[in-house]
Structure 1
Amino acid sequence: MKKLALVGAVLALIAVLATGWFVAPYNAASNLEEDTPYVVKQGATLTSIARDLETQGIIDDADAMLLRAKVLGGDDPIQAGEFMLPAGASFSAIVDTLQSGDVIRRFVTVPEGLPSILVYERLMAEDLLTGNIEVPEEGSVLPDTYDFERGESRAAVLARMQSAMDTYLAEAWESRTAKAVVKSPQEALVLASIVEKETAQADERPMVAGALSNRVRIGMMLGADATTIYPITKGKPLGRRIRVSELRSTNPYNTRAVAGLPPGPITNPGRESIAAVLDPAETKALYYVADGSGGHVFAETLEEHNRNAAAWRKLRRERGEM
């Protein structure tokens, strides 16, 4: 009886040692010396990944690790994407990360008022994106921060930006007030793009929208220099003063020569500018001019506006700006 007990104990010890011998390498630290991003391509398998890790010197024996993974690992499939592998991560931890870990997300930001030509250039300059795109339609992109994965197509990221604009504009349009002068979501985009360019102060947008809406309502020219510049630069900075010939041009974007809204947006307006034209401030103001502090002073009459404009010119001369 004692002999049988001894044999049993020896066999149990051998089993424990064998299990430890089998399991230990699976949980042992790898050769990763620092946190390392690792990209899993679509269609990759655990076998192909183990071979690649061995080739890179991250693990020593792919076949040994694959055998242990089949016995000890989970059944979840490997995800495609980019993952961060921690320094010294065991093969067990690597497999778990690739099966259920978070994919590394990267970000691209479209600021409010960024014209489509610059959205295009920003996406094309992002080295971790793939493929080509055309310059998107002006006003079709909702300014925001968007995440993407390494290797994702530029077209897919742009489609998310445009879908976000479609969704927001549709929702905002349904909540427009009776004060809104625009007759369609497209007109809302056009007027909002002008508001976006006319003021950089968020709290001033409803007032600017109110003054511009008043002008549209009575058939008065909008008089926004940004619309005149748009056909020349497609939204990029002009880099010089507007020429008299450009101010006199009768192209449909020149709101100093042609009444009504221009034929399309002049930039990609943000949520606040869109909301402002759909619920503009209740005001009788028709005019506004810079006040020297980053905002504007508003006027109901041309006489009052001329006084405000003279004060602005005087301030600029005192500053040496003209």
Structure 2
Amino acid sequence: TRDTTIVIEPHQGSQAILQQLRDAALLPAVWTIELPFLLSGRARQLKAGEYALTAGMTPADILEKIAKGQVVIHKISIPEGWNIWQVRAAFLAEPLLTGDIPTIAEGSIFPDTMRFQRGATRASIITQMQKHMAEVLDKEWAARDPAIPLKSPQDAVILASIIEKETGVAEERPMVAAVFYNRLKIGMKLQSDPTVVYGLQAIHDGVPLGRALTSVDLAYDTPHNSYTREGLPPTPICSPGLAAIQAALHPATTDALYFVATGVGGHYFSKTLAQHNGNVQNYKKLKKK
């Protein structure tokens, strides 16, 4: 044989499968190979699916592979930090999946690489990812720092989603979490840029902003804008990964109330507005270079 892929549809009988293999020149026209297979009852075990067949496989090898159901496994990856519109687009763009996409609550799926067979339903994979998120949340919430003021696992996902979008530096996440807790503690607004971006996307059906935020954006009130509204947003703003969830539930110990990008990866953290403004100016100077 040559390298090839064959798809056996569900509900095909064994004779139809054998004929399909003969038509594809994967089995000889004579029955010398098939007869023992039929007599043994193994033909009834031939399974539907997509099979990768390599050059050099004998007819007996091919029949055995199909009887064992050794189908091709495909993958779909949902990275940490993707929002629901990106998730939907990825599932719709995967031609080997079938079916509609159910309504997905933001932050309800655990970002991961999922394995599937051709013809699997989008809904089934999304359900698996939601189950995984629920399991992770149950475990992490039970082990949370008892001093944190969050009321529910959903609050943890909301805060974790903001942390996920604020920094990609793993060791900074507990510090970012602590800053947000410190702000909440004194009744200060969270003032997180990613919440503004999400709020603007939400009122435009998920279309990416495609530009830097402006002062007008920061002042434009949406349910998710943490510059105009107090406390946590009403929903998560993305699918946070495990590290961000753990940071939200185990914040660092710090008096910092502010942070700004260093311009070279990471952030400067500061306790006072004066220190913060100095760090902002340093960042702006670096950007101009």
TM score, norm. by length of structure 2 = 0.92
Equivalent residue for 2:248?
A: 277
Identity among equivalent positions (%) equals 39
One of 282, 292, 301 as aligned partner of 2:263: 292
Equivalent residue for 2:280?
A: 309
Aligned pairs for 1:1-322 (under 5 A) are 32=1, 34-61=2-29, 63-71=31-39, 74=42, 77-134=45-102, 136-234=104-202, 237-317=208-288, 319=289
Uncovered stretches (5+) of structure 2, i.e. residues with no partner? none
After TM superposition, the structure 1 stretch with the greater mean CA deviation from structure 2, 249-258 or 148-157, is: 249-258
Q: SS of the counterpart of 2:45?
A: coil
TM-fit CA distance, 1:63: 4.9
Q: SS of the counterpart of 2:157?
A: helix
Amino acid at match of 1:216: L
TM-fit CA distance, 1:236: 5.5
Distance across 2 between alignment mates of 1:180 and 1:80: 51
Structure with the larger helix share: 1
Contact 1:44 1:78 in 2 (8 A): no
TM-fit CA distance, 1:115: 0.7
With over 3 angstroms needed to count, the CA separation of the structure-2 counterparts of 1:97 and 1:302, relative to structure 1, is same
Deviations 1:57-113 (A, max 9, x none): 222326554423123574772233222222242222122111225321111111110
Instruction: State the structure with more CA Rg.
Output: 1
Contact 1:179 1:280 in 2 (8 A): no
Amino acid at match of 1:48: A
Deviations 1:285-317 (A, max 9, x none): 111011111100101111211111121122222
Distance across 2 between alignment mates of 1:64 and 1:45: 20
Contact 1:73 1:92 in 2 (8 A): no
Contact 2:37 2:43 in 1 (8 A): no
After TM superposition, the structure 1 stretch with the greater mean CA deviation from structure 2, 263-272 or 224-233, is: 224-233
TM-fit CA distance, 1:251: 2.7
Cα-Cα RMSD:
2.0
Contact 1:84 1:104 in 2 (8 A): yes
With over 3 angstroms needed to count, the CA separation of the structure-2 counterparts of 1:164 and 1:236, relative to structure 1, is farther
Distance across 2 between alignment mates of 1:152 and 1:279: 38
Contact 1:209 1:277 in 2 (8 A): yes
Distance across 2 between alignment mates of 1:220 and 1:226: 17
Contact 1:51 1:62 in 2 (8 A): no
Distance across 1 between alignment mates of 2:25 and 2:140: 55
Amino acid at match of 2:266: G
Aligned residues: 286
Distance across 2 between alignment mates of 1:62 and 1:104: 28
Amino acid at match of 1:238: L
